[in-house]
Chain A
Amino acid sequence: MSLDLSCLTCASAARAVAAGKMTATELTEAALAAVAARDPGVGAFLEVHAERALRRASEIDASPEARQAPLAGVPVALKDNLCLRGQRTTAGSRMLAPFSAPYTASAVARLEVNGAICIGKTNLDEFAMGSSTENSAFKLTVNPHDPSRVPGGSSGGSAAAVASGQVLGALGSDTGGSIRQPASFCGLVGLKPTYGRVSRYGLVAFASSLDQVGPMGRTVDDVALLLSAIAGHDPNDSTTADEPVPDYRSLVTDDPGSLKLGIPRDWLDAGLNAEVRGAVEDVLARLEGAGARIEAIDLPHERYAIATYYIIATAEASSNLARYDGVRYGARAENPRDLADMYSKTRSEGFGAEVKRRILLGTFLLSEGYYEAYYGRAQRVRTLIRQDFETAFTKVDAIVGPTSPTTAFPLGEKADDPLAMYLSDVYTVTANLAGLPAVSVPCGNDADGLPIGLQVIGKPFDEARILQVARMVEDLRAATTRSSP
């Protein structure tokens, strides 16, 4: 077995398969070998579907037509809150430990139709609630750049699987930064699409007005390729937009023309780690040198974003997670006194501490006497946050800044302090509240060699533009060093 995935990208692998220089089976075997060799030290996967993956690979190899697909033979990983028919889908929770998905998520089906090979399911914070993947009920995932640190979360397993060269790309989900922050911590490109760009059908619901499925990869080109595969209207998700899906890769060109970028005035203030600030300022200066115009903008209601986000996200979660009652699927507690006791016992045993905390908070916020004061008010502040972006986008094409206030933090550092963990999402939650597309792209490393991510936020359905900016950042960096774990 000589094939090394770390020398490949999704795009180059699919090209090689199309040209007959490589087979889907070789790529799948390489991925399975990389999982066997590297995952014991990383902990990215909850389950590996070796047999299924090899069977699909041989189907592709046997069909001249399938070998020409845009992702032919490309090994990918799926966050384990995305359903794959006949396979366990746990969402990182004991509650769903016995659950086998009866259907496949639309985004996953589209990846497979485009030739991708699903290698397995990756670890996550339980029900995607967390920023470090430490809330998984099953295992610990570490950062491939430094195993004493978190990979970020909640799509930490997907990020770690790609960053350690076990697969070439992955799907995650992003409710408040869960694709972008782990991409930033692991040195990857990760994109949260516009709300409605990608179907949520078959995604285990957390907060339905905020959740989006999105791609993670090592290059901007790969993320554009994966996005083109999964985006588009889906009759099974009535919130998907009926907007045409462009070929994102062909729109990301070498000559972007003139770009106007906005940097929110207080994003580089105190509270931001000095090395992260330095890296972001440096890349902004270089973007300016490359012809982009950069101006300070104001997002006056941005400082209320975390509070608004945690009200809306927990309220929606408390409603979505009411379905886990031990009746139709998932775990059920033993020896209940009666039906009511069965519900409460099942939920108390099946959910972990953070999920229970958020359900409790969300239930409180929606309860009689508090609904309007908290949830109603948060929905109105959400309008103000959206309007701030609308105003900003009359002046600039995209908004840039840090993805996370720090680089990957040590395992255990914030595990016992929920509020500190929530505050680490300060730069990412606004894109979810406003429904905007946003991408994180590597822009440097701190003194310990840990990756730093630049976030680019765009107008609705303007994924091509933020990928363009990300590509410029990637090109500027290519001149200097490129780090890999």
Chain B
Amino acid sequence: MGVDSKVVDYVASLAKLYFDDEERELVAEQLGRILEFVDQLREVDVNHVPPTKHVIDMANVSRDDAPRPSLPLEEALANAPESIRDYFVVPKVLPD
């Protein structure tokens, strides 16, 4: 399928990415070529074929619901671009 810059804008908004005009055109062209390539899967008959979500046969793995040590708070916050007390700080969510 063809990809125009409107599609790129929509998907970029879902993925939280910005592209300038030049990038948008290039990415639209490259995505179009890649999608054309993967479209070959349409010729495969997949009726009655179950999907592989995981290659190993395993059910959910659970452990006892008992507390155990975890990353100390100060270490969990150490990599944050900005923190105050026990919190991650983010820019204002709602306008004034």
Interface residues of A (CB under 8 A from B): 98-100, 102-103, 195-196, 209, 235, 238-239, 241, 301, 304, 306-308, 310-311, 318, 325-332, 336-345, 347-348, 351, 356-357, 359-361, 363-364, 367, 374, 376-384, 386, 418-419, 422, 433-435, 460
Contacts and interface: CB of A to CB of B under 8 A. Distances in A.
B41 A307 contact: yes
A241 B56 contact: yes
A103 B82 CA distance: 21
Nearest to A377: B41
A434 B82 contact: no
A112 to B, nearest CB: 20
Given A338-B92, A344-B17, A301 B44 contact: yes
Contacts of B49: 380-381, 383-384
A301 B40 CA distance: 12
Contact of B88 (A327, A336, A384): A327
A318 B14 CA distance: 10
Contacts, number: 156
Nearest to A362: B15
30 contacts: A99-B79, A100-B78, A102-B71, A102-B78, A103-B71, A238-B61, A239-B54, A239-B58, A307-B38, A329-B80, A331-B81, A338-B92, A339-B92, A341-B91, A342-B90, A344-B16, A347-B16, A356-B19, A357-B27, A357-B31, A359-B15, A363-B11, A364-B35, A374-B41, A378-B41, A379-B52, A384-B49, A386-B52, A434-B55, A435-B56
Given A377-B46, A382-B52, A419 B33 contact: yes
Contact of B95 (A195, A338, A364, A374): A338
A367 to B, nearest CB: 6
Closest 8 CB pairs of A and B: A435-B55, A379-B51, A329-B79, A332-B81, A380-B46, A238-B61, A363-B15, A348-B18
A359 B17 CA distance: 9
B50 A209 contact: no
Interface string B57-75: 0100101000000010001
A473 B51 CA distance: 37
Given A344-B18, A378-B38, 15 more contacts: A209-B55, A306-B37, A308-B41, A318-B15, A332-B81, A337-B91, A357-B27, A359-B17, A360-B15, A361-B31, A364-B31, A381-B46, A382-B52, A384-B46, A419-B37
B50 A383 contact: yes
Nearest to A209: B54
Contacts of A339: 90-93
Nearest to A363: B15
A382 B31 CA distance: 22
Interface of B: 7-8, 11-12, 14-19, 27, 30-31, 33-35, 37-38, 40-42, 44, 46, 49-56, 58, 61, 63, 71, 75-76, 78-82, 88, 90-93, 95
Contact of B91 (A328, A336, A380): A336
A360 B17 contact: yes
Contacts of B7: 364
Contacts of B31: 357, 360-361, 364
B37 to A, nearest CB: 6
A320 to B, nearest CB: 12
Most buried by A among B18, B44, B46, B63: B44
A377 to B, nearest CB: 5
B92 A381 contact: no
B67 to A, nearest CB: 15
B16 A102 contact: no
B51 A382 contact: yes
Contact of A419 (B15, B34, B56, B88): B34
B91 A381 contact: no
A161 to B, nearest CB: 26
Contacts of A386: 52, 55
Nearest to A324: B16
A442 B37 CA distance: 32
A13 B62 CA distance: 41
B79 A102 contact: yes
A111 to B, nearest CB: 22
Nearest to A341: B91
A383 B51 contact: yes
A99 B78 CA distance: 9
A327 B90 contact: yes
A434 B55 CA distance: 6
Contacts of A331: 81
A374 to B, nearest CB: 7
Given A328-B80, A380-B49, A418-B34, A363 B14 contact: yes
B30 A418 contact: yes
Contact of A330 (B71, B79, B90, B92): B79
Nearest to B1: A370
A361 B15 CA distance: 10
Contacts of A325: 16
A433 B90 CA distance: 39
Contacts of A336: 91
Most buried by A among B50, B76, B79: B79
